[in-house]
Structure 1
């Protein structure tokens, strides 16, 4: 069985099914639902109806996008890859939401890989088996998983409203760490359907990691690193975190401080699209505007909590740790193309 799995490129592991597959799911989400929501928001803001229509179409196709993204991430053969479009669509259409699309794509891809190129009528058998596995998974598992994930998300949002100070810290810190870790905070936010003040705290936590690392490592990485980390992803620092975990302290402390400010004082809100993105592509700030409007007070809160405060606090903490010789020059250098 092991040799068969190895031949088929099937590797059951946390690394492959959680870290790798979820990361590719996030790419599928960004290429459909998230970018579609940005397009719709921009179209409504500037009165461009065709942009709104394109955005709505992109959002409607998030299921197929997740399907092909997960299959691609798992190294699916061509026929399995193309059939996974149907699996992802079924997961979304049959009540599973993003979580259902993810599971249907993952299960159908691995089953499809087992039969790929095993028969003389591969062009029929492989897509047939992949689609049956995907739709079957979507029907049998998707709704239950979706219900469990949304109930967990609802509990997190309820707890944040009941205990905004404590939950502001927890949500901001954990979602920020998920963004820097090689898993997808965006996928988690969508699966949990985070909204309201909990999503606002999550956005702040993610922004703290991205802007925090961007400013803390400016002396090593310069302007290109500032953009790559601050607008791209703080995941670029994961290799350095493994070498010196202390470099996580500045952005994580910053998230712990700013999280409750977001939930208790400024009452920042967001939606699931912005909750796990932070400042990546400016999605977090854009979705905050989409959720709360574009009043001067909202814009000022975005500037302070998403950009200014994370930059200042993380820089202060990192400089203190540098003086203590806990963080040394080069500890936060990232590889840049």
Structure 2
């Protein structure tokens, strides 16, 4: 065989190899690694900001934190880590995501992310006012303060680079629905759908604020199956006589959550198109939670309708207190208290986000 005949074959082989490598190099340049993680919202992403403001909505006491390193009750509303903690460690940023108001957080810590969230808060200012916690506007002002601090240390250019390549998480809405629609305050709006639209308008404004501040990767968490939260199951059993004595989800609340999430998906799609060069993505927490409820054995769970703390029916925050009895093995529980998921559940939510959301970033 003529040796020259091999040359085209070898040349073709190397060209194919080069072409195979090009997408990776292009992706690496267009989508650099996540530089930081910043969280806004409620207790699902509050890693202890409420410890430093005058409110009773705190979890800086046992039995909270029983699964955290050294069994430390940090102020997270769970037995251990939150989904944002798992995300921060999976992205190689830091082991856990600290709270902005924590005095031990230094300016350089801000460069890899913090949480500005406040347990008991929501998208609606009235929600935060009911619980004397941080409104979204107050959280925004703390973010602006953090940006000024970062610029004072590393300069404008580096701070802008960090923000541009950071991941921003907005997680709120559940308290708005439970406080203002289902449990406490008489409705002052025309319909549930109208109130949902009002909440979504708040998300749109906040996402646009982030974009104009330089953010380009924004994720917005949808609502969980609210009717399956242990506290809502308990209240539903009293409101609906046929449910008395039965631990079943309040289905109309779950229907409301699904409708809200559908609207949120459409909103995030519109924002991604409108905000040039950005990715605004819907973070689905409903699906992993409802799957754990319907198929608990798949996740090693045994109890999905009660919290681990106390009776598991109503205790949360100040009611889940140091003398409260807790379950023997919290890893078998979907919820730690009557509202908040366990560390096990948060790890599943984080894994779902990493698998389904991050490829789009």
Give the TM-score, by structure 2 length. Answer: 0.25
The two structures have a TM-score, normalised by structure 1, of: 0.26
More strand by share: 2
- Rg comparison, structure with higher value: 2
Q: Which has the higher helix share?
A: 1
